[in-house]
Structure 1
Amino acid sequence: MEGILTALEPHIVELLGLVLTIIIGIAARQLSAWTGIEIEKRHREALHEALMSGAMSAIKHGPDVGIDTLKAHAIAHARQSVPQAVKALVPGDGVLDAIAERYVRDMLRKLDQPVLN
Protein backbone atom coordinates (compact mmCIF):
# COMPACT_ATOMS: atom_id res chain seq x y z
CA MET A 1 0.00 0.00 0.00
CA GLU A 2 2.82 2.36 0.91
CA GLY A 3 4.50 1.66 -2.41
CA ILE A 4 1.34 2.65 -4.29
CA LEU A 5 1.06 5.96 -2.39
CA THR A 6 4.72 6.68 -3.05
CA ALA A 7 4.20 5.99 -6.74
CA LEU A 8 1.04 8.16 -6.90
CA GLU A 9 2.42 11.05 -4.84
CA PRO A 10 3.84 13.07 -7.79
CA HIS A 11 0.55 12.67 -9.65
CA ILE A 12 -1.49 13.72 -6.61
CA VAL A 13 0.71 16.80 -6.16
CA GLU A 14 0.34 17.59 -9.87
CA LEU A 15 -3.44 17.20 -9.67
CA LEU A 16 -3.63 19.45 -6.59
CA GLY A 17 -1.53 22.05 -8.41
CA LEU A 18 -3.93 21.94 -11.36
CA VAL A 19 -6.97 22.31 -9.08
CA LEU A 20 -5.38 25.26 -7.25
CA THR A 21 -4.49 26.92 -10.56
CA ILE A 22 -8.10 26.62 -11.72
CA ILE A 23 -9.43 28.01 -8.45
CA ILE A 24 -6.99 30.94 -8.53
CA GLY A 25 -7.93 31.65 -12.16
CA ILE A 26 -11.65 31.70 -11.36
CA ALA A 27 -11.07 33.94 -8.33
CA ALA A 28 -8.94 36.33 -10.39
CA ARG A 29 -11.64 36.57 -13.08
CA GLN A 30 -14.31 37.25 -10.46
CA LEU A 31 -12.19 39.92 -8.79
CA SER A 32 -11.48 41.56 -12.14
CA ALA A 33 -15.18 41.60 -13.05
CA TRP A 34 -16.15 42.95 -9.64
CA THR A 35 -13.58 45.76 -9.66
CA GLY A 36 -14.56 46.68 -13.21
CA ILE A 37 -18.19 46.95 -12.13
CA GLU A 38 -17.20 49.06 -9.11
CA ILE A 39 -15.11 51.41 -11.25
CA GLU A 40 -17.95 51.82 -13.76
CA LYS A 41 -20.39 52.48 -10.90
CA ARG A 42 -18.13 55.21 -9.52
CA HIS A 43 -17.84 56.82 -12.96
CA ARG A 44 -21.64 56.74 -13.39
CA GLU A 45 -22.21 58.29 -9.98
CA ALA A 46 -19.60 60.99 -10.62
CA LEU A 47 -21.15 61.83 -13.99
CA HIS A 48 -24.66 62.09 -12.52
CA GLU A 49 -23.42 64.29 -9.67
CA ALA A 50 -21.59 66.54 -12.13
CA LEU A 51 -24.70 66.87 -14.30
CA MET A 52 -26.79 67.69 -11.22
CA SER A 53 -24.38 70.35 -10.01
CA GLY A 54 -24.09 71.68 -13.56
CA ALA A 55 -27.87 71.97 -13.78
CA MET A 56 -27.99 73.75 -10.43
CA SER A 57 -25.22 76.12 -11.48
CA ALA A 58 -26.88 76.87 -14.81
CA ILE A 59 -30.19 77.73 -13.18
CA LYS A 60 -28.55 79.98 -10.61
CA HIS A 61 -26.99 81.97 -13.44
CA GLY A 62 -30.28 82.46 -15.20
CA PRO A 63 -33.23 80.12 -15.19
CA ASP A 64 -34.93 82.15 -17.90
CA VAL A 65 -32.48 81.39 -20.73
CA GLY A 66 -34.25 78.29 -22.02
CA ILE A 67 -33.86 74.61 -21.42
CA ASP A 68 -31.39 74.00 -24.28
CA THR A 69 -28.95 76.56 -22.88
CA LEU A 70 -29.34 75.15 -19.37
CA LYS A 71 -28.72 71.60 -20.63
CA ALA A 72 -25.66 72.72 -22.59
CA HIS A 73 -24.25 74.38 -19.48
CA ALA A 74 -24.87 71.26 -17.37
CA ILE A 75 -23.19 69.02 -19.96
CA ALA A 76 -20.20 71.36 -20.32
CA HIS A 77 -19.87 71.40 -16.53
CA ALA A 78 -19.91 67.58 -16.40
CA ARG A 79 -17.35 67.26 -19.20
CA GLN A 80 -15.02 69.64 -17.35
CA SER A 81 -15.67 68.19 -13.89
CA VAL A 82 -15.34 64.48 -14.63
CA PRO A 83 -13.68 64.03 -18.03
CA GLN A 84 -12.36 60.60 -17.03
CA ALA A 85 -15.90 59.39 -16.31
CA VAL A 86 -17.15 60.65 -19.69
CA LYS A 87 -14.18 59.01 -21.40
CA ALA A 88 -14.62 55.70 -19.54
CA LEU A 89 -18.40 55.44 -19.99
CA VAL A 90 -18.57 56.79 -23.57
CA PRO A 91 -22.24 57.80 -23.36
CA GLY A 92 -24.02 57.45 -26.69
CA ASP A 93 -25.69 60.20 -28.66
CA GLY A 94 -28.28 62.02 -26.62
CA VAL A 95 -27.56 60.22 -23.34
CA LEU A 96 -25.92 63.19 -21.60
CA ASP A 97 -28.56 65.47 -23.11
CA ALA A 98 -31.42 63.36 -21.75
CA ILE A 99 -29.90 63.08 -18.27
CA ALA A 100 -29.07 66.79 -18.18
CA GLU A 101 -32.62 67.67 -19.25
CA ARG A 102 -34.02 65.57 -16.43
CA TYR A 103 -31.85 67.30 -13.83
CA VAL A 104 -32.54 70.77 -15.26
CA ARG A 105 -36.30 70.17 -15.21
CA ASP A 106 -36.08 68.79 -11.65
CA MET A 107 -34.15 71.86 -10.50
CA LEU A 108 -36.60 74.21 -12.21
CA ARG A 109 -39.52 72.47 -10.50
CA LYS A 110 -37.82 72.65 -7.11
CA LEU A 111 -37.30 76.38 -7.58
CA ASP A 112 -40.87 76.90 -8.91
CA GLN A 113 -39.44 78.25 -12.16
CA PRO A 114 -41.27 77.86 -15.48
CA VAL A 115 -39.75 75.46 -17.98
CA LEU A 116 -38.88 77.48 -21.08
CA ASN A 117 -38.28 75.48 -24.26
Structure 2
Amino acid sequence: MDNLWTALEPHVIELLGLVLTIIIGIAARQLSAWTGIEIQKRHREALHEALMSGAMSAIKHGPGVGLGTLKAHAIAHAHQSVPEAVKALVPGDGILDAIAERYVRDALKKLDQPAIADR
Protein backbone atom coordinates (compact mmCIF):
# COMPACT_ATOMS: atom_id res chain seq x y z
CA MET A 1 0.00 0.00 0.00
CA ASP A 2 2.88 2.34 0.78
CA ASN A 3 4.35 1.71 -2.63
CA LEU A 4 1.03 2.55 -4.30
CA TRP A 5 0.70 5.81 -2.38
CA THR A 6 4.30 6.73 -3.11
CA ALA A 7 3.68 6.17 -6.82
CA LEU A 8 0.37 8.13 -6.89
CA GLU A 9 1.29 10.98 -4.53
CA PRO A 10 2.88 13.28 -7.17
CA HIS A 11 -0.13 12.81 -9.46
CA VAL A 12 -2.63 13.47 -6.67
CA ILE A 13 -0.78 16.65 -5.70
CA GLU A 14 -0.67 17.73 -9.34
CA LEU A 15 -4.41 17.09 -9.69
CA LEU A 16 -5.17 19.06 -6.51
CA GLY A 17 -3.06 21.93 -7.84
CA LEU A 18 -5.02 21.92 -11.08
CA VAL A 19 -8.36 21.89 -9.25
CA LEU A 20 -7.27 24.77 -6.99
CA THR A 21 -6.07 26.75 -10.01
CA ILE A 22 -9.44 26.31 -11.71
CA ILE A 23 -11.32 27.33 -8.56
CA ILE A 24 -9.15 30.42 -8.09
CA GLY A 25 -9.63 31.36 -11.75
CA ILE A 26 -13.41 31.09 -11.49
CA ALA A 27 -13.46 33.09 -8.26
CA ALA A 28 -11.26 35.80 -9.79
CA ARG A 29 -13.51 36.03 -12.86
CA GLN A 30 -16.62 36.32 -10.68
CA LEU A 31 -15.02 39.00 -8.52
CA SER A 32 -13.99 40.95 -11.60
CA ALA A 33 -17.50 40.77 -13.05
CA TRP A 34 -19.07 41.79 -9.74
CA THR A 35 -16.78 44.78 -9.21
CA GLY A 36 -17.28 45.88 -12.81
CA ILE A 37 -21.04 45.80 -12.32
CA GLU A 38 -20.76 47.75 -9.08
CA ILE A 39 -18.57 50.41 -10.70
CA GLN A 40 -21.00 50.75 -13.61
CA LYS A 41 -23.90 51.02 -11.17
CA ARG A 42 -22.16 53.83 -9.28
CA HIS A 43 -21.44 55.69 -12.54
CA ARG A 44 -25.04 55.31 -13.65
CA GLU A 45 -26.38 56.59 -10.32
CA ALA A 46 -23.96 59.54 -10.36
CA LEU A 47 -24.99 60.45 -13.90
CA HIS A 48 -28.69 60.35 -13.06
CA GLU A 49 -28.18 62.46 -9.94
CA ALA A 50 -26.18 65.01 -11.93
CA LEU A 51 -28.91 65.21 -14.58
CA MET A 52 -31.55 65.66 -11.86
CA SER A 53 -29.64 68.43 -10.12
CA GLY A 54 -28.85 70.04 -13.47
CA ALA A 55 -32.54 70.02 -14.37
CA MET A 56 -33.51 71.61 -11.05
CA SER A 57 -30.76 74.21 -11.43
CA ALA A 58 -31.83 75.06 -14.97
CA ILE A 59 -35.46 75.51 -14.00
CA LYS A 60 -34.66 77.68 -10.99
CA HIS A 61 -32.67 79.99 -13.27
CA GLY A 62 -35.42 80.37 -15.81
CA PRO A 63 -38.17 77.84 -16.42
CA GLY A 64 -39.54 79.78 -19.37
CA VAL A 65 -36.52 79.41 -21.65
CA GLY A 66 -37.76 76.27 -23.37
CA LEU A 67 -37.30 72.56 -23.02
CA GLY A 68 -34.28 72.37 -25.33
CA THR A 69 -32.35 74.94 -23.31
CA LEU A 70 -33.26 73.31 -20.01
CA LYS A 71 -32.16 69.89 -21.29
CA ALA A 72 -28.91 71.34 -22.62
CA HIS A 73 -28.21 72.92 -19.22
CA ALA A 74 -28.89 69.64 -17.41
CA ILE A 75 -26.62 67.72 -19.80
CA ALA A 76 -23.84 70.31 -19.51
CA HIS A 77 -24.17 70.10 -15.72
CA ALA A 78 -23.78 66.32 -15.87
CA HIS A 79 -20.71 66.58 -18.11
CA GLN A 80 -19.12 69.02 -15.65
CA SER A 81 -20.21 67.20 -12.48
CA VAL A 82 -19.42 63.60 -13.37
CA PRO A 83 -17.22 63.51 -16.48
CA GLU A 84 -15.78 60.14 -15.49
CA ALA A 85 -19.28 58.62 -15.39
CA VAL A 86 -20.12 59.99 -18.84
CA LYS A 87 -16.79 58.73 -20.17
CA ALA A 88 -17.20 55.28 -18.58
CA LEU A 89 -20.82 54.73 -19.64
CA VAL A 90 -20.55 56.26 -23.14
CA PRO A 91 -24.27 56.93 -23.51
CA GLY A 92 -25.45 56.68 -27.10
CA ASP A 93 -27.01 59.42 -29.18
CA GLY A 94 -30.14 60.80 -27.58
CA ILE A 95 -29.80 58.85 -24.32
CA LEU A 96 -28.70 61.81 -22.19
CA ASP A 97 -31.22 63.99 -23.97
CA ALA A 98 -34.09 61.61 -23.18
CA ILE A 99 -33.07 61.23 -19.53
CA ALA A 100 -32.56 64.98 -19.16
CA GLU A 101 -36.02 65.64 -20.64
CA ARG A 102 -37.58 63.28 -18.12
CA TYR A 103 -35.86 65.02 -15.21
CA VAL A 104 -36.68 68.50 -16.53
CA ARG A 105 -40.36 67.57 -16.84
CA ASP A 106 -40.31 66.00 -13.35
CA ALA A 107 -38.67 69.13 -11.93
CA LEU A 108 -41.27 71.33 -13.59
CA LYS A 109 -44.04 69.28 -11.98
CA LYS A 110 -42.38 69.51 -8.56
CA LEU A 111 -42.16 73.29 -8.86
CA ASP A 112 -45.73 73.56 -10.19
CA GLN A 113 -44.49 75.06 -13.44
CA PRO A 114 -46.58 74.55 -16.55
CA ALA A 115 -45.41 71.97 -19.05
CA ILE A 116 -43.33 73.58 -21.78
CA ALA A 117 -43.02 72.78 -25.43
CA ASP A 118 -39.76 71.86 -27.06
CA ARG A 119 -38.32 75.06 -28.48
Q: Which residue of 2 aligns with 1:25?
A: 25
TM-score (norm 1): 0.99
Matches within 5 A, 1:58-69: 58-69=58-69
Q: 5+ residue gaps in structure 2?
A: none
Deviations 1:19-49 (A, max 9, x none): 0000000000000000000000000000000
Identity across matched positions, percent? 85
Q: Residue in 2 aligned with 1:57?
A: 57
RMSD of aligned alpha carbons: 0.5
Letter in 1 for 2:47: L
| 2: CA distance, partners of 1:11 / 1:107 | 68
Q: Partners in 1 of 2:18 and 2:92 — Cα distance?
A: 44
What TM-score do you get using the length of structure 2 for normalisation? 0.97
Q: How does 1:36-51 map to 2 (within 5 A)?
A: 36-51=36-51
Give runs of ≥4 in structure 1 deviating > 3 Å.
none
Deviation at 1:116?
1.7
Q: Any gaps of 5 or more consecutive residues in structure 1?
A: none
SS in structure 1 of the partner of residue 65 of structure 2: coil
